[in-house]
Structure 1
């Protein structure tokens, strides 16, 4: 900012009180400066992505780890969920999205295998009992 020395008071020889409103406007113009470029002003819009754009499937991963842990797939799902959450906390959204996508696929497979194994554990004993009757 330029600091220039300006006289804000009228000389003492004029015997008139200074016009303070006029001096205030002159000070603002001097401080801000006159526009140098007569071109129209343009605006810039910056879009900031929110942190919630990366789902980490936490409840689903915990459910699969506790109840649908066939072939220890639930533990692997939970590990990818934790990696996704860690990357999201650090700010690496690209890697967090990759880990979240892997966790989602593994969650789907763990759920499907868990449901199939649960159905088989119900059907096989029934079939065995019917075979012995």
Structure 2
């Protein structure tokens, strides 16, 4: 193996390992414990203090049937994507003033990425998506 090939292999490994670390589903499942007192996810998820989170990425804010959202959340115009979720989870009341979500937020980018990776393993029906 020549130097150029070795350099490419090392670079590729670094990129792949950093991507894997950026999206650690198991760590995200642990982070979800911060959400669990108010939210559920999975096939039998139901609304608690907060709405169930199945299929949250791609879903319009304030749209889970049977959950009593704040007017601020219903009228936010948000459709949850990764960037919006990251802003919201860092400081819910700053992103949507008037939200009922009383949560200090998760500010650590790696933890948020892991949480997103975990949330995205569930489809809108609560079934686990195949990798």
Say whether the fold is shared (TM-score over 0.5): no
Greater RCO, CA 8 A, separation 6+ = 2
Scaled by the length of structure 2, the TM-score of the pair is 0.25
TM-score by length of 1: 0.25
Please say which structure displays the higher CA radius of gyration: 1
The structure with the largest helix share of the pair is 1
